[in-house]
Structure 1
Amino acid sequence: MKQRNAKILLIIVIASRSISYLLSKIGLNGIPPLELLAIRFALTTLILLLLFHRRLPLLTRHVWKAAGLLGTFLFACMACELISLTTIPSSTAAFLENTSAIWVLVLMAIISHHWPGKQVLTATVLLLIGIACLTLQGAVFHLAPGEIISLTGSVFYAIWICLTARLARQCDPFLLGILQMGFLAIYSTIGMVLFENPVLPADRTTWSAILTLVFICSVFGFTFQPVAQKYTSAEKAGLFTALNPLIATVLGVIFLNETFTPIQLAGAIYILLGIIIVQVPKKYLHKTNRCENGTTTSHTSFHA
């Protein structure tokens, strides 16, 4: 897969998951958070196994270990997200979880012993400003337990993105995407049994939210992200998550008759600028810098 196609796939994957906050909030009205995760990922795993069971003979011990590691951190992220949604607005959760862009940069800087360049740092600042403008619409923000849990989830999400970028190059990324759903189902079911009183969803609205989460956000979204990340960097994958609240806002305008406020419009512009900046090829920037340096050198020599 070409890098350009991988980026397009990653954007589509993020777009497919942009409705997860709203759907999860709806689902939580009928059942507890861990039960919602258990049903969602058990159904996802069953569907994926039925569709792609012929790939199972390709499984190796290394793939199992890698998928288990990814599933662990993704479960931690998802559990924090849903638990926080029981106490804080979905807009606040969307903002805090998408601060993962910063954590990805920090983690990759620690791993590679090299801090990102001005291009990535500038894009990150623009994206965070844009996310804040889109999501924190009059919400009272303070670090209460719900916010802390959501922020912790963003760290787990960043670790998952960094691990996915590395493991997707070592293993079959599609098998990784399928197996991690299975581990999510197992962890969620164990947590549900230990900490909750499961109640079978009785209303159509809850089931509609769960099934949409299954097919759009999980079967397609989480499963194909490792495939896309095999061909792009963890830093860019982290920055692309800023599209999540932007797309969610656009969907609200289209389907819920919501309107862009001036602040949200500014946020959308900041996010688009950040994405554009990070896509400018480094070789072009280096070429521009060389031209500028050459002009400066020539100018100095002339005066000498």
Structure 2
Amino acid sequence: MNRVRADLLLMAVSIIWGTAFIAQKHANSSMGPVSFVGARFLLSFVALAPLAFYEHNNPTGSRLKKEDLGLAGLVGLCLFVGSTLQQIGLVTTTATNGGFLTALYVIFIPFIVWIITGARPRLIVLAASVVSVMGAWLLTEQGRFHGWTAGDALVLIADIAWAAGISLVPIFLSRVDRPFFLAFAQYGVTAALGMICGLSFEPFSREGWAMAFPAILYAGVFSGAIAFTLQIFAQKYTPPAEAGLIMSLESVFAALAGAALLSERLTGSGVLGCVLILLGVVAVEVGPALRNVKLRGYLRKPV
């Protein structure tokens, strides 16, 4: 796989996540948010089990060390914290505030990578992140923030967990080439913590779980087992900050899905917001392409 194919995978991930936002909002009306997180990732865990065991039995595969298991567990913890706080936040925050605040994780990624690896963020990445966040702001109802609630704070904290998880994925893959194991492990950690906490502190209703089953199925299979796994594969070739920017297209596809499936109106400012997010993604894509063209031109020059 090359960078272009990896970026296309990340775009596919953003499409799936954008449409899954509708399923997440629907589930909160039928069951507890933490229980939903546990149920959806339990389904993802089961779906990835055959691929993880196939990878484990591959004689040419990388050997896992104790520190690799710890790192995979940390990525899983980030997924649990991010998913749970976001899902709880969606109970009290408005869709307007939640959509904007979720997009802020693209700002955190370059700085978390800097803290972890010492690699300073490139100026073009920072500029593209700011442009994408401006686009997410315009995707709200004419750029208006509807007050500040506890749910908003939870979604913002979730952004830090999302950013940390995205930043840690390539570190794991650089140490051991076991993408299916990483996906399997993070789903297992999130499912276990979600089911234990959800069943311990939230009311259980068979009718509610039955009503939420379509949302669990979509989020567990498509958003979880497929999209999160594709993200891991793609991040082997796309740096974390650039990957985060591409996945921020989730806001665009969520707006389009809302307009198509929920009859939500996409305003002129919303369209402009979509364009700005796209420009942010294009900016980080054009930079490496131009460098490669210049490099090939230099190598072809006669000595």
Deviations 1:197-252 (A, max 9, x none): 22234475421111111111011011221111011101101212320110111223
Indicate yes or no: 2:239 matched with 1:233. Answer: yes
Shift of 1:177: 1.1
CA distance, structure 1, for counterparts of residue 130 and residue 208 of structure 2: 44
- Alignment partner of 2:196 out of 190, 193, 215: 190
- Alignment partner of 1:119 out of 121, 124, 142: 124
Indicate yes or no: 2:9 matched with 1:5. Answer: no
Shift of 1:45: 1.2
After superposition, residues 140-289 of structure 1 pair within 5 angstroms as 140-171=145-176, 172-202=178-208, 205-282=211-288, 284=290
CA distance, structure 1, for counterparts of residue 83 and residue 140 of structure 2: 19
- The residue identity in structure 2 corresponding to 1:92 is N
Long gaps (5+) in structure 2: 295-303
C-alpha contact 1:242 1:271 (8 A) present in aligned 2: yes
C-alpha contact 2:132 2:248 (8 A) present in aligned 1: yes
Shift of 1:285: 6.5
CA distance, structure 2, for counterparts of residue 69 and residue 164 of structure 1: 10
CA distance, structure 2, for counterparts of residue 247 and residue 278 of structure 1: 19
Shift in CA distance, 152/247, structure 1 to aligned 2, threshold 3 Å:
same
- The residue identity in structure 2 corresponding to 1:93 is G
The alignment of Structure 1 onto Structure 2 pairs a total of residues equal to: 288
CA distance, structure 1, for counterparts of residue 55 and residue 288 of structure 2: 38
- The residue identity in structure 1 corresponding to 2:252 is L
C-alpha contact 1:31 1:201 (8 A) present in aligned 2: no
- The residue identity in structure 2 corresponding to 1:32 is G
Shift in CA distance, 110/202, structure 1 to aligned 2, threshold 3 Å:
closer
- The residue identity in structure 2 corresponding to 1:208 is P
Aligned to 2:78: 73
Shift of 1:34: 1.1
Shift in CA distance, 140/131, structure 1 to aligned 2, threshold 3 Å:
closer
C-alpha contact 2:128 2:281 (8 A) present in aligned 1: yes
Where 1:31 maps in the other structure, the secondary structure is coil
CA distance, structure 2, for counterparts of residue 243 and residue 212 of structure 1: 19
- The residue identity in structure 2 corresponding to 1:44 is S
Aligned to 2:297: none
Aligned to 1:294: none
Shift in CA distance, 239/36, structure 1 to aligned 2, threshold 3 Å:
same
Shift of 1:52: 5.1
Larger Rg: 1
C-alpha contact 1:174 1:224 (8 A) present in aligned 2: no
CA RMSD of aligned residues (A): 2.3
TM-score norm. by structure 2 comes to 0.86
CA distance, structure 1, for counterparts of residue 180 and residue 256 of structure 2: 29
Shift in CA distance, 201/91, structure 1 to aligned 2, threshold 3 Å:
farther
Aligned to 1:128: 133
Long gaps (5+) in structure 1: 289-304
Shift in CA distance, 286/216, structure 1 to aligned 2, threshold 3 Å:
closer
Shift in CA distance, 287/225, structure 1 to aligned 2, threshold 3 Å:
closer
